[in-house]
Structure 1
């Protein structure tokens, strides 16, 4: 089968790219194949009482993308708004609390179950495929790639793309594509491996390796604030969610698996102890005392105690946290190949935000690059086009997000000895400076 665009990975990034291409007048006539080993996702006729623990916090920009492709109407009733973000550590009294209003928005994000997001996008894709008679858009779900042949690097391929890519499918069959898109995740992306694009970041077994525990919980009162506390073992986040709240706890693998095995009441107690316990006094005198009381004035926003977790609903799940950037400095393309989403980058999200937002922004940028090429009569697999229209703008934004998230984590992660109060001081600085708080909020909302 010969297609114009073959997308491997039907998660949020891949499904969003296919939806954007299928609804744009410039690209809706392209032959598109969406390939994934998973079966098609479906929006249930009736939502279960509580949300799935795997959630996404979608920024206003991501919500607008979903409106563009016609998927948001079905998702809006299940979305929980986030109006404020509060970040603090386990040592000292420093904290930062910012609101969406500070950057001129009604919400920071809306929290939604990731499986519902994917299901709504795929429902739009099935409708588009039916409207086109199956000639323009093909959903190969499930289908397993078995291997690929990519055009070699050459001056001609750099400008024109070169021979088509060939993807072999298990059980027989071959896809030939003018553009192969890797949206197949951070861990073990086949497209990234076939393209021989390396990643920069800690690997499995390294000291930086962490696992995230995700759980759906009931809280003492409803919340519209994203709470995040930086602990010695890693960040703990409490997010609003449909009919409850979502916990995301990054910690060492052994600790995460131990927590996942606790009875619900013990896990709830562990979350409360970690989230609501008073901050430990720093081992050394606070560095703020050296600044002549600069931070002794009234705070721009008071600290709000997070609600107590009163129950854990359903079974928690765990996943390995990955922090990496394709190509080290952000190499996302080669002739007839482009990476988006986790295949290109993965970062620790701030207060549960910015993860899927970056992936959806990747999909939007690549869809725009393809539309520009079609309008100009260019080859959509040209590496020069993909570099200029997709890689460079996304590398700049994603690289800044990864660097900022890593710097923030290093600043706020509790330190030992004389450095124990640095995190609290950093939070004090951000809380005292409106511009710093607005930067933090924009980082959380948009990843830029």
Structure 2
């Protein structure tokens, strides 16, 4: 008995000392198959709405609910009466009261009609896109995801109708002047389209969602849909991953952080230097795969993705095999460079129970290892995508991936 008691205490101490990351969570499902919605832009930014629209039994249940139907009618009425400010896109914002109204309806429906929600919750948890809320009860989990989605719709409507609320206005703003007559006419056309699509079986969120997605297209900020599916964009590497013996390498993958051009050059000299460092480490056998990270950032409106150009440089100039290089063509910040690399590793089948290598220049890595980077991650993401950061060289460090990185960020519609 004394022996068993000691074993039990030892086990408790072992688990208590484990790093607190979500890599040990039973969710998400590495074999998860996403439900296809009406478009990639919606699926990437608002997967909850895609599930509510497409899963059997849910659309009819939501359409018949009196509380949700009243909310839907309220929004429809607002845009159909110009005299009562119906030409103002702000009428389709989700108020705090309406967000609470929907949360109460979800809580009630979950209790009264649990069957249709069983698959919804399974899909949500399996996808990983709501991983930040994964340890909450079903009701809290669903309502937290709904609030995130509602806040995301509000963010887009505010940002791309009047230019307010943007986290990074310089690189995230509409590529057209939002106060110009032409742009305002485009917004009014979007509102007219929402009104024309009025159907009795419309769901409560669809008018606002249609406006938000339309605004992203109108403002030429559709980056989130440009390279999907990533399994095809990085197809050669995905196929090579299945044949890789991971025991031969100290690290399963290397992340090379991007560096935006400041003028009209396709790839910055800093970006090239980081690629050369990473290529040297690849040739030494430190990792079998490279992830290059950087989206359409600078100059604003550039047609070039940093990651695409970095891969070209690695393959064409530095002679790294194309199948060894994957691109993250979305990230616009160091926080999301790291987050997106974790996502790619998970989705592609690269082991995430091993440390990942991260390459940059010396000054950049000083920032990554600083409290300032952690604070920024917590503020903008709500978690640290990299745990237990260790810098072992001037030009590279390693970290443990955190699967909360799979969480969709509805406050970043260009790279959710």
Tell me the TM-score range normalised by the shorter chain.
under 0.3
- Higher normalized contact order (CA 8 Å, seq sep 6+, divided by chain length): 1
Q: TM-score, length-normalised on structure 1?
A: 0.25
Which has the larger share of strand? 1
Q: TM-score, length-normalised on structure 2?
A: 0.27
